[in-house]
Amino acid sequence: MSPITAIIVVYSIAFLCDATEFEASGTLATTGIDVSLTIDDIAQTVEITMTGLSNNWFGVGFGGSAMNNRYAIIASGTNTVSDHLLKKSDNCQCNSGVTGSQLTIISDSISGQDRTVTVTRPITDTSSGYNFPTSAGSLSVISAQGSGSSISYHGSNKSPDTLTLSEVVVGPTMCCTNVAHQNKW
């Protein structure tokens, strides 16, 4: 009997393809918070930028028009940015932080009276349970802003709103596919 030798060849095929992103931005009613987001379906990430008053906490919740159990990103203190599953009964949101958060802070800066924070996170996030949409259309959001830097009851300084996600084709970009072939001799 002769021995059988197997050779496995793995190589990458590179080609150009169009990448799709979904973008939305706007100034939210009542609170005046500016928010923009870019959803990148190839990288599977969302980049969110929020600008509010530097001396007040502020936050934006995604995927609905009511506060309770809403996924939100809050900027508080002088350098704290965190994500939460909001609880209407918890004025300070002390017990609403996302366990195992996948939020990454890209920047947190103050210019004059404005504080701008930019964060990223995966589109699909098992730690928060909230998944951003990957199609064009309406995205319901809520926003709130407090009267100081520590999270506390916002009073009437809150607002439901809607952002419109638009499809943006960004490309071409390099896409790679790993292909394995097996040959037996």
Q: Which two tokens stand for residue 87?
A: 């609880």
Amino acid making up residue 90: D
Prediction pTM value: 0.81
φ, ψ of residue 158 to 5 degrees: the values are -145, 160
Q: Which two tokens stand for residue 137?
A: 């259309």
Q: 11-20, 91-100, 112-121: lowest mean pLDDT where?
A: 11-20
φ, ψ of residue 140 to 5 degrees: the values are -75, 135
Q: Is the pLDDT of residue 87 over 80?
A: yes
pLDDT, one tens digit per residue, over 141-172 is: 999 999 989 888 888 889 999 999 999 987 66
For the chain, give the longest Cα–Cα distance: 85
For position 182, what pLDDT does the model report? 38
The answer, yes or no, to whether the previous bond of 160 is cis (omega within 30 of 0) is: no
